[in-house]
Structure 1
Amino acid sequence: MDLAEDKTEQLRKIYADNKFVNYLDMKIEEVTSGYAKMSMYVDYEKHTNLHRALHGGGLISLADTAMGIACVSTGKKVVTLAMTTNFISVIEAGETAIATAKIIHQGRRTIVAEGIVENLEGKLIGKLQATFFVIGEISLD
């Protein structure tokens, strides 16, 4: 990774006061321009469904946040317009979900990103694609 491109600390500062991200215990692991990696320990008391597995809403929240951060890393302020999710497998309470996201199209008004959620061993849990609407600029300084 090119250290000049590393935006991890900048994005951690921007998201430090995001109540939803903090409530779900999402962690920003790595950010470069157009790419983000996040993690979330699957807490039985907070993140699971009736089967002790990560709730679909938790998976979507983690991936949506990672894809949004990938967009923000380009200096764009965005909101999610649409998202498609494929649930592939489950991740149990006590495991860690890893979401990686990258921009696959960047226009002036919309950005399309794809996200993958895996466990620590690389088992595919979900695959997502989202379209974001650009609502402004954001300073990364």
Structure 2
Amino acid sequence: MENITEWLKENLVTIYNENPYIKLLDISIGHVEEGKVELHMPVLAGKHTNLYNIAHGGALASLGDSAMGIACATTGKKVVTLEMNMNFIKGAVAQSAIKAIGKVIHNGKTTMVAESEIIDSQNQILAKTRGTFFVIGMFEDNQD
């Protein structure tokens, strides 16, 4: 597998750092390599939590979906989610720092499959996701 270009890496970071929904959830991009990404999200009481004061399932689903989608994008392909499933394993308490590691497991011509693992600061698994993504185009370096 070829390494991700600096142009694509910078472009993806810019796109996601400016995305209003990503900003709303306070998601940030950590490590990026081709086929793999690490995202971070705090769990803030009253913002990311449900009535039990643990991370809302929708916030975790958004984090997992974003990690998988960005992992797919690191291959240079623009994708949209076709299908996603998620297993919630352990609650993420308020104020914990969590991260999602997204990985491409199938890089097809028209569809891709990815998975993510959401973990807390003690490396305990909080949730796992798997999704199928439809390729709608390619990212192109317009810097030539």
TM-score range, shorter chain: over 0.9
User: Are the counterparts in 2 of residues 106 and 112 from structure 1 also a CA contact under 8 Å?
Assistant: yes
Match of 1:86 in 2: 87
RMSD (Å) for aligned C-alpha atoms: 1.9
Displacement of 1:9 after TM fit? 3.5
User: Are the counterparts in 2 of residues 97 and 117 from structure 1 also a CA contact under 8 Å?
Assistant: yes
Q: Tell me which amino acid in the other structure corresponds to 2:65.
A: D
User: Are the counterparts in 1 of residues 4 and 75 from structure 2 also a CA contact under 8 Å?
Assistant: no
TM-score under structure 2 length normalisation: 0.90
Structure 1: stretches of 5+ with no match in the other structure: none
Q: Tell me which amino acid in the other structure corresponds to 2:115.
A: E
CA distance in structure 2 between the aligned counterparts of 1:37 and 1:116, rounded to whole angstroms: 10
Structure 2: stretches of 5+ with no match in the other structure: none
Displacement of 1:14 after TM fit? 2.0
| Equivalent residue runs for 1:1-141 within 5 Å | 8-139=9-140
Displacement of 1:101 after TM fit? 0.7
The SS at the match of 2:46 is helix
Instruction: Kindly tell me the number of residue pairs found equivalent between the two proteins.
Output: 140
CA distance in structure 2 between the aligned counterparts of 1:4 and 1:106, rounded to whole angstroms: 14
Deviation readout 1:81-135 (Å, 9 max, x if unpaired): 0011000001101001110010000110000001000001100000110000000
Displacement of 1:139 after TM fit? 2.7
Deviation readout 1:25-68 (Å, 9 max, x if unpaired): 00000110000100000011210011000000000100100110
User: Are the counterparts in 1 of residues 101 and 116 from structure 2 also a CA contact under 8 Å?
Assistant: yes
User: Are the counterparts in 1 of residues 102 and 114 from structure 2 also a CA contact under 8 Å?
Assistant: yes
Displacement of 1:138 after TM fit? 1.1
CA distance in structure 2 between the aligned counterparts of 1:122 and 1:8, rounded to whole angstroms: 26
Q: Tell me which amino acid in the other structure corresponds to 1:34.
A: G
Identity across matched positions, percent: 42
Displacement of 1:13 after TM fit? 1.2
Displacement of 1:10 after TM fit? 3.5
Displacement of 1:15 after TM fit? 1.4
